[in-house]
Structure 1
Amino acid sequence: MAKFMIAYDLKQQGQNYNCITEKLKKLNAFHSQGSVWLLKSDTTCKDLRDHLKGCLDSNDELMVVQISDWASYQMPHDAKYLKG
């Protein structure tokens, strides 16, 4: 199973984050910090991007990265998620 980091920036002041956060929760993603989530899945970066981009406006930003190696500091819950 691949591991992913998903980060987004919704540029519009007061933008509704519910759409993207609900989609991530349904994928059982782990909310790491702010607008950064971790996910373990058998999908691809492109498929994840395409699944989430419907929540974004034309000026918003989204990055999906497959993790091949990682290290953390004082983030025990994130480490537990990625190791599990």
Structure 2
Amino acid sequence: MAYNLFIAYDLDNPGQNYDAVHEQIKSLGTWYHAQQSLFYVHTPLSPQAAHAHVFAVMDSNDRLMVVDATNAVMYPAPPAHVEAINRVWFEPA
């Protein structure tokens, strides 16, 4: 089974290793970096497994939310953003 997940995070001091967090999120599957601290990912991992995978490179005082998305609306959005999200959404598992 494949999941479409929104992954949001806050990295607090000390640490704030954005590169490590971004790489860990990107390793989950097909991804789109939708906003500064928000990714959209198509992955075979469950939300719980994706959370554990990403949190493994975060500090204990950081925050992470993983949401299983079955439907979404993004407006206003440039057509290129919508096309990028659709490529992720419809990626074969």
Fold-level match, TM-score > 0.5?
Answer: yes
Task: Write the distance in 1 (CA, Å) between the matches of 2:79 and 2:72.
Answer: 13
The alpha-carbon deviation at position 59 of structure 1 amounts to: 1.1
Assess if the C-alpha contact under 8 Å between 2:32 and 2:85 holds in 1.
Answer: no
| Secondary structure of the structure 2 residue equivalent to 1:52 | helix
Q: What corresponds to 1:60 in structure 2? A: 62
Specify the code of the residue in structure 2 equivalent to 1:59: N
Q: Pairwise mapping of residues 3-82 of structure 1 onto structure 2 (< 5 A)?
A: 3-12=4-13, 15-27=16-28, 28-73=30-75, 74-82=77-85
Q: 5+ residue gaps in structure 2?
A: 88-93
The alpha-carbon deviation at position 55 of structure 1 amounts to: 1.4
Assess if the C-alpha contact under 8 Å between 2:6 and 2:67 holds in 1.
Answer: yes
State how many pairs are aligned. Answer: 84
The alpha-carbon deviation at position 43 of structure 1 amounts to: 1.6
Assess if the C-alpha contact under 8 Å between 1:3 and 1:82 holds in 2.
Answer: no
After superposing the two structures, state which structure 1 stretch, 15-24 or 56-65, moved more. 15-24
Specify the code of the residue in structure 2 equivalent to 1:80: E
| Secondary structure of the structure 2 residue equivalent to 1:50 | helix
Please give the root-mean-square deviation of Cα atoms over the aligned residues, in Å: 1.8
Q: What corresponds to 1:83 in structure 2? A: 86
Task: Write the distance in 1 (CA, Å) between the matches of 2:25 and 2:38.
Answer: 11
Identity of aligned residues (%): 31
Assess if the C-alpha contact under 8 Å between 1:8 and 1:36 holds in 2.
Answer: yes
Q: 5+ residue gaps in structure 1?
A: none
